[in-house]
Amino acid sequence: MKPLQLLASAAILACTAVAWLVLGAAVTQRADTFSRSTSSDVGDVWGPPLTQTHPSAFFLTPNGRNGRTTILPTASTIETRLSSEPKKRGLLWHKTYQLHFSGTYQFTNPTRIPQTLYVRFILPEASRGLHEFTFDLGGENSDKSAPAARDGIITRAIPVPAGGTVPLTVSYLARGTDSWNYQFPDSRRITDFKLTMNTDFPDINFPTGTGSPTRRKQSDTGWNLAWDYPDVLNAHSIGMDMPEKLNAGPVAARMAFFAPVSLLFFVTVILLIGGMRGISLHPVHVFFISAGFFAFQLLFAYLVDLLPIVTSFTISALVSLALVSGYLRAVGGNALFKIALPAQLAYMVLFSASFFFHGLTGITITCGAIATLAILMTLTAKVDWKTVFTSQKSATA
């Protein structure tokens, strides 16, 4: 291939890269549009991320700030169950879940005289979506009926003798999205606190700023986690992010943005090894190779609207393999086909498949580049490049 032909081939690769950028931007915009239009619908049904706040109580006293003293539970035992139930809308999966919450708290009168404790329990933001809600303070609610909440807070007064303790039991079912959190109201001392969490999913991730469990055990379907705070100041909040499902829109966009890298590797290998074997390629050949590669991302970007992501990927890959490798077989015979097929499998199929696994794309590109460099350096170490690129041998069928 002559220098002018190399420049023409480079221009074709650059134009294909621009086309991929346009495709990636279009897929990103389409996914964002779907996300905006469906997120509110999902939120209306499943609610926002749920946050449960640690309850508190206060009693009236002239020695306290604003005439009252606030206390926290002296003991807390909480059981939670998180069930992931992701819902798909358009190109995106939404991280929806079911929560079963059950907590028992002990409030102790810290004074030497009887006091009326005003126990406050803050409901999650999606309180209108709570089911099977029970609120039992001191065993007074034998029918487990839920008292009225004002501004999302249930406040109930109960007399407690000097040094006495009153239990509060709360339970409910709720729906949420993205994550669940349990927060402490301030940096005061947390005593005898125990929270257990059972998940039905194996991929667990704790939100930034939350504490790690003190015990964990994997079950058949998920994890059994426990947080024990026997006596802690400024305790970390507790939380869980729902597991990610592979979203077709963002994956298709990232594949399009990085596709020029795989095409560059492929064309480099084909030109060099083809030139060594006397198979001269023209810029028109490079154009059709680029079009065959582009067909992969283009077909995949629109098939994912109709088919599962793995099925869409498989069909798109097979179509592109047939176009590119089949075309190069017609151009250079079996000699070029034996180079093109494994190279396309490595640079297009395996490289694109790495986008299905979070965090593997960078290392895949790096390893592919190093492996390609090593192979080409080994094969071309003794090649006389003057004779290779001045060869006038025509491409054979």
Using one digit for the tens of pLDDT, what is the confidence trace for 352-393?
A: 888 887 667 777 778 877 887 887 788 777 777 666 555 444
User: Mean pLDDT for the chain?
Assistant: 85
Q: In terms of pTM, does the model score above 0.85?
A: no
| Residue 351 predicted with pLDDT over 90 | no
- Judged on CB neighbours under 10 Å (0-12, 13-18, 19+), 358 is exposed
Check residues 90 and 297 and name the one with the higher pLDDT. 297
DSSP annotation string for 146-180: PPP-BTTEEEEEEEE-TT-EEEEEEEEEEEEESEE
- For helices 283-303 and 248-276, the axis angle rounded to 10 degrees is 160
Domain extents for the chain? 3-32+247-388, 47-241
- Judged on CB neighbours under 10 Å (0-12, 13-18, 19+), 132 is exposed
Report the 10 Å Cβ neighbour count for 153: 13
**Could you tell me if 206 and 239 are in contact, meaning their C-beta atoms sit under 8 angstroms apart?**
yes
Using one digit for the tens of pLDDT, what is the confidence trace for 187-221?
A: 788 999 999 999 999 989 999 889 899 999 998 88
| Residue 395 predicted with pLDDT over 50 | no
Average pLDDT of 126-152?
A: 71
Query: What's the pLDDT at 206?
Result: 92
| Residue 125 predicted with pLDDT over 80 | no
Query: What's the pLDDT at 359?
Result: 66
Using one digit for the tens of pLDDT, what is the confidence trace for 173-183?
A: 998 888 999 99
Query: What's the pLDDT at 324?
Result: 94
Query: What's the pLDDT at 142?
Result: 43
The pair of structure tokens assigned to 15 is 């134009």
Using one digit for the tens of pLDDT, what is the confidence trace for 83-111?
A: 998 887 766 778 889 999 999 999 999 99
Question: What is the DSSP code (8-state) at residue 229?
Answer: E
CA 157/CA 395 separation, integer angstroms: 92
**The domain at 47-241 falls in which architecture?**
Sandwich (2.60)
Question: How remote is the C-alpha of 293 from its chain's centroid?
Answer: 28
Using one digit for the tens of pLDDT, what is the confidence trace for 224-274?
A: 999 999 999 888 899 999 988 777 778 888 889 989 988 998 998 888 888
Q: What is the dihedral of CA 285, 18, 316, 329, to 10 degrees?
A: 10
Average pLDDT of 300-328?
A: 91
**pLDDT tier, 394 (very low <50, low <70, confident <90, very high otherwise):** very low
